[in-house]
Copies of this chain bind each other. A is one copy, B any other.
């Protein structure tokens, strides 16, 4: 995701400031996008808006904005629960479309289903198209403001819908939305009775920076050790081809890129993101997130990469051709793509802008690779370079300590006073590196989804689901029953 819009904005600057061996990119948690041929749920097209204060924490700025949300009462009965999705970094209908679990279990509970869009994403832009134009506008993009939005929205729903006044509310979320679901229950237990926080990397800010890369590597390793060897050797192959005369043109042609490469780093970062994304969406059935993908995309990727025997030992071009065969799985499984854009892996630009800002302020998630225990080139984490990039791009610098001051987790046992939060993490999910994977209190169960990629448990039931995720969903249903009783 090196080439998101914000990186385009400060691209030259970044090129000047940062060596290729320093990791300064914010990693995107959200891997959803609108896919053209995805069947979209009509229940997610019924938008409402609610007038929110832009600044909940002060009284000087009296501006308001329209927060978008969806509200469905198909299954709801008066007094029965509200299921509330704490929207994360993207259009709310994306999450509404891809959180089938809530829809699956709503009839069991006669529940109302609400999906709330996060401020500064989708159409919930406090200052319209200018929302990202200057620090005076971006300053209200924080998790705390978003949580206050959710509290106000729920207060409004409860007081305006007859029969909802006493409806207990359960909050759900995946990825950053899972962090918000957990934080919402932590900070507003008088508003939500419990939370299902799926694949929520609430500890990612201090997790060893190589953890993410290691899990990605493990996912490919379990499919094919040979595949991992080829990926590991591909970086050198790319480097050697790139420095040869006409090498970048050759690489651009091999990868069928729409625009010629400006550097080998451009290609390598695009590939790096792809590996992370494949690990995140390594679901046991075909999906349509970043692109239309087969079931077990890591397996198919590796099958493509290892399909033919090595023609020549140490043939750089052969290695690269194998990787190209792999990328076709991720970027062109349907065969409809003529060329690939290294500047695009998914979501609309505003979503990326927002996450760039948030990872430059509250949620710095250090990333690196050691090149030994993972299949990547060695890349160090350079906080200072990252911070400098943030200041150049947004006129802000990260505050590393803040999430732990505000929400806890510096010492995980200190979280024991929170309650009614189910933390679920899949062992295939690289973001599980920052998940809460120890149960620190009986009412804060940490649940492992064996065979689960990024918030698999939040997705709609599927015949191909592993037994573990069925059990986890039953567990969540049982927990909700205790929370609302």
Contacts and interface: CB of A to CB of B under 8 A. Distances in A.
A419 interface: yes
Nearest to A192: B417
B187 A187 contact: yes
Q: DSSP class of A's interface residues: helix, strand, loop or mixed?
A: loop
B406 A193 contact: no
A345 B189 CA distance: 40
Nearest to A147: B406
A418 B142 contact: no
Interface stretch (A75-83, A267-275, A378-386, A395-403): A395-403
Contacts of A139: 58-60
A152 interface: yes
B140 A58 contact: yes
Interface residues on A, range: 35 or more
In the A-B complex, the 5 residue pairs with the smallest Cβ-Cβ separation, listed nearest first, are: A190-B408, A189-B417, A59-B396, A190-B414, A60-B139
Contacts of A415: 190
Interface of A: 53, 56-60, 62, 135-136, 138-140, 142, 144-145, 148, 151-152, 155, 187-191, 193, 361, 395-397, 399, 401-402, 405-410, 414-415, 417-420
B144 A57 contact: yes
Contacts of A406: 148, 151
B155 A405 contact: yes
Given A152-B405, A405-B152, A408-B191, A60 B417 contact: no
Contacts of A145: 57
Given A60-B139, A152-B405, 5 more contacts: A56-B402, A58-B139, A62-B397, A155-B401, A188-B408
Nearest to A402: B56
Contacts of A140: 58
A101 B188 CA distance: 31
Contacts of A62: 397
26 contacts: A56-B402, A57-B142, A57-B144, A58-B139, A58-B140, A59-B139, A59-B361, A59-B397, A60-B135, A60-B138, A60-B139, A62-B397, A148-B406, A151-B405, A151-B406, A155-B405, A155-B410, A187-B187, A189-B417, A190-B408, A190-B409, A190-B417, A190-B418, A191-B408, A417-B419, A417-B420
A421 B189 CA distance: 15
A59 B56 CA distance: 15
B144 A396 contact: no
A135 B58 CA distance: 10
Contacts of A136: 60
A165 to B, nearest CB: 9
Contacts of A187: 187
Contacts of A407: 190
